[in-house]
Chain A
């Protein structure tokens, strides 16, 4: 006796864990990047704020997040 498959295998897709990693990184990156841009006009009071760490770190996270989100997006196979 065969056990019926709960999902039609022809339409079944697996979501890569790296897709979620990318989405999370992208979301955090965009928020921090936005804050970094805001700080160009409203500088923070932290040490070395003149180096704009939020801007650069946000940019880096956004770039990584975008790469992983696109590279491992659902349906890419």
Chain B
């Protein structure tokens, strides 16, 4: 929190910062939506449809509802009201993440200077300038800003906070991996009759193996432009179609097992196929962004991140379409078997809210209003 606060003081306030960024890098660095009217008008090469449908609808909702790292926290809630409030509280904090993650980057654009007093030019990781000429990469912005403002004590706290954040995310993911493997795969399909101590042992071993696998995947990230690109790629392969399956399975009584299976499989396969198509020839991206006559310049501008958003939207759509078609072609599940599983067939108990301030819906509206205001402000 100190870095954006001190950075804003040094830049002379929000207005001065925006003016300096516009002068140095252009107005498209200071707007969320204004430059998303065309693929060519923003650095990511994305249209607002990709952000709204790919990121806003599919990837975000998928992350909040199907990523076990998030879901396990809700499952451990001690009441229905707490479970409902958990993602709302999480979303409130999540809205302020850009102020700690993106704002330091924007501040660095206009504040970081070399010893001769010139603004530092930042380069992508692995570029020739970074590797051979001692230039700084975009990923070094936060450490550079920390060293700039934080002295002894505060710098230690900042580094500890960063490492604690990594460890917390890592621990959550490893425990999610161990739980899903032990309960949902090993205990459900491979060895159903083992003792509790056996499952505990399996959980411990899968934790160790999960850590080794996650270390191994770090090498895969090296082939992507950034960790974020890599994560979004995986999200578009797995989370996006899974969200289609989950949302239909939760809300639509007519969905069947076969529909869910084939929908999920076809969504995932289609997503990987789209990725491979674009990897082989980037010009193929024009079909994914529904611009079959796109110019070579537009195609060049569409970054991997933008492609991830469109791929996710298509994967979700394909999964939903296949699930619906296959479900209608197969025998419906009797309603009695859907009790407790599907929204319309389940009696949901009162969550215990005694007044409006205890109702999750009230806080959901508050969060949505703040989100709307933030988007309008940063339009």
Contacts and interface: CB of A to CB of B under 8 A. Distances in A.
Given A46-B147, A47-B10, A57-B154, 12 more contacts: A28-B157, A34-B153, A35-B152, A35-B154, A36-B153, A44-B151, A45-B151, A46-B149, A47-B148, A51-B6, A53-B151, A54-B153
Contact of B157 (A32, A47, A48): A32
A47 B8 CA distance: 12
27 contacts: A32-B153, A32-B154, A32-B157, A34-B153, A35-B151, A35-B152, A35-B153, A35-B154, A44-B151, A44-B152, A45-B151, A46-B147, A46-B149, A46-B150, A47-B6, A47-B10, A47-B148, A47-B149, A48-B9, A48-B10, A51-B6, A51-B9, A53-B2, A53-B154, A54-B154, A57-B2, A57-B154
Given A32-B157, A57-B2, A46 B151 contact: yes
Interface residues of A, number: 18
A65 interface: no
Nearest to A35: B153
Contacts of B10: 47-48
Nearest to B111: A47
A70 interface: no
A31 B150 CA distance: 14
Interface in A22-72: 28, 31-32, 34-36, 39, 44-49, 51, 53-54, 57-58
Interface of B: 2, 6, 9-10, 147-154, 157
Contacts of A51: 6, 9
B151 A49 contact: yes
Nearest to A33: B153
B99 to A, nearest CB: 17
A31 B154 CA distance: 9
Contact of B151 (A28, A34, A39): A39
Closest 5 interchain pairs by CB? A35-B153, A44-B151, A32-B153, A46-B151, A54-B154
Contacts of B154: 32, 35, 53-54, 57
A39 B150 CA distance: 12
B152 A53 contact: no
Contacts of A53: 2, 6, 149-151, 154
A44 B9 CA distance: 18
Contacts of B150: 46, 53
Given A51-B9, A57-B2, A31 B153 contact: yes
